[in-house]
Amino acid sequence: MASDTLSISKDLRAAGFDEQQADALATHIAATPSDLVTKADLALEVARLDHKIEAEIHQLESRLLLRIGTGLAVATGLVLAAVGTA
């Protein structure tokens, strides 16, 4: 956050702060981190992560279904082989 400390200090003095208080507060305001996010930023990131998680779940479901199907095919083959040899 780019802040004009002189302007902030003047506004604070006009509001009743003494010069030392106004300068100190203006310095702290100017030092506020610039990487703050808005609610809209957070909502967008949550939506992106939701989509990513849903896609990952879909991939996991597909792989699990393939493994279950393969297991059933192998089990069926073993049963048929056992019945055929009996």
Q: Over the Cα atoms of the chain, what is R_g?
A: 33
pLDDT value for 32: 79
pLDDT value for 31: 82
The region, left, alpha or beta by phi > 0 then psi within -120 to 50, assigned to residue 17 is beta
Domain ranges of the chain: 1-36, 37-86
- Kindly report whether the global pTM for this prediction surpasses the value 0.75: no
Contact 32, 1 (CB under 8 A): yes
Displacement of CA 59 from its chain's centroid (Å): 20
pLDDT in tens, the chain (86 residues): 456 888 989 999 999 999 999 999 999 888 877 778 899 999 999 999 999 999 999 999 999 999 999 999 999 999 999 998 76
